[in-house]
Chains A and B, each alone.
Chain A
């Protein structure tokens, strides 16, 4: 922009010079704004950080729920970390995306040179960024409270698989329901999974028949898998990993099929 008025019209140079920017720059820019917006929004931070931190303090320091004899930190931390993943990759992503759809942001971004795959990639990177903050904060808090994870590596794989599964389900919700309905449903599902989806308590605390069904929930698979790694030092628990993989594949297929951009 030179600021040179010309031809009696005093607007800076607008000579066309079109072209798409490099894809990596698009991806980073999109991920950065998604991440900044998520961290700037009070409700998102409440959901992704404050509630998991408060639950950690309440469960580990309090005596509200009885454990099986292992340390309270070891007993509750895997479930709380799984809850944190559900909060950011499912509930947070679904609500944010639903309102972007409602306000025409998705449509507007769809009219730019950024391919939709890069938009989804940016969202994924932003969710992973939030999860990094969550795992750092909750992990540090857990260690302070005496958490002693026996292994870590398998947990990383499970978190990635869980993120894929829940992000697909969150996008499916956001791309099919109205924004207000998505808001209600994403919060309700979060709450139900917290109580009955194996997050707060292992399914082994429920009746056998209930556990036989609920173990196939992605939340239960993620939490059970994390318990196996952190509490028992497992490498990569195969069954939970396969369950999460299946949810990812089905979820993404459904999201691709039914997601509406506007």
Chain B
């Protein structure tokens, strides 16, 4: 898959291409436990997709089926148009993988391990340069077992991308990282996206999904409970709200007429107004435009927009991280 030219916009909207990952009705059981219960989603080429959910939601299982480590009990899984297990030999050179737990030889030195994985690729990145870019230059000679958890995570990330893959699976790439290391990891994901690679990552950090992902697939108990772009998810369903103070007794009917369809306007107590609606720039423009026409100054204007965290709580009735 050629990368888009630096000066061209995202070509995905122009060319209809096969998605990098396509999953339809995926079911996976471990004994009596239904890990994945009819999961479907697609990852367009060049996108970053986050699988979001609490521990045990099925994120890792979904990724490991895509990586060919596990076969589906039923359903269809296509990765780069191929079958992850039957076509593993053809897929492995094209796909970069970051496993939970890393999988480096504990006794190998950091740089030695990355050189090993680099030697399996045709045109790998220069291992020392990659280590330096990830802030691991100073521990290049340190055995893996003596690296900190965050350093090991970054080595594992380096191992995933050193072969210049076109599709990268990152399983909890920022779990246990300090803020600096998290930002280094985000820079890699953003760099992969910028340069045309496709990324599938799992996370239970909302801010990570909102910041990095073109679309988010929310998993809970092995099912997709919501999917869409972060802004679609935070807009969809139940509304956010805007509240403000103004002179009592304004005409709510004209207010409702000025706002986007579906917005509810009310005056719960005299002089306190509430607008319930998906919150976006149009809503605020309509609201303040109406105020201007009424020659009313809205004071204490407060916008409450849902975060993905709220969405998740609404969908599943529980916190992402317990």
A contact set with B: CB distance below 8 Å = 1, 3, 6-7, 9-21, 25-26, 29-30, 33, 36-37, 40-41, 99-100, 103-105, 107-115, 262
Write the chain B residue with the least CB distance to A111.
B97
Closest 8 CB pairs of A and B: A108-B103, A19-B122, A11-B191, A29-B119, A113-B93, A16-B166, A20-B93, A104-B103
A104 near B165 (CB under 8 angstroms)? Answer: no
Is the CB of B35 closer than 8 A to any CB of chain A?
no
B117 near A112 (CB under 8 angstroms)? Answer: yes
Of the candidates A12, A41, A111, which one forms a contact with B191 in the assembled complex, judged by CB atoms under 8 Å apart? A12
| B residues less than 8 Å from A19 (CB atoms) | 93-94, 121-123, 163
| B residues less than 8 Å from A16 (CB atoms) | 1, 3, 164-166, 195-197
Is the CB of B106 closer than 8 A to any CB of chain A?
yes
Interface size on B, residues (CB 8 A): 50
| A residues less than 8 Å from B119 (CB atoms) | 21, 25-26, 29
Question: Which secondary structure dominates where chain B touches chain A?
Answer: loop
Q: In the complex, A108 Cα to B297 Cα: how many Å?
A: 62
**18 pairs across A/B with beta carbons < 8 Å?**
A1-B129, A12-B130, A12-B191, A14-B197, A15-B164, A17-B164, A18-B122, A18-B163, A19-B122, A26-B119, A103-B101, A103-B105, A105-B104, A108-B97, A108-B159, A111-B99, A113-B121, A113-B163
| A residues less than 8 Å from B93 (CB atoms) | 18-20, 113
Q: Which of B175-193 contact A (CB under 8 A)?
A: 187-188, 190-192
Is the CB of B92 closer than 8 A to any CB of chain A?
yes
How far, in Å, is A102 (CB) from chain B's closest CB? 10
Question: Which secondary structure dominates where chain A touches chain B?
Answer: loop
- New A-B contacts (8) at CB < 8 Å, excluding given A12-B191, A19-B94: A1-B126, A11-B188, A11-B190, A12-B133, A16-B165, A18-B93, A19-B93, A19-B122
How far, in Å, is B130 (CB) from chain A's closest CB? 7
B161 near A114 (CB under 8 angstroms)? Answer: no
B166 near A7 (CB under 8 angstroms)? Answer: no
B102 near A108 (CB under 8 angstroms)? Answer: yes
Of the candidates B67, B103, B165, which one forms a contact with A18 in the assembled complex, judged by CB atoms under 8 Å apart? B165
| B residues less than 8 Å from A15 (CB atoms) | 3, 164, 195-197
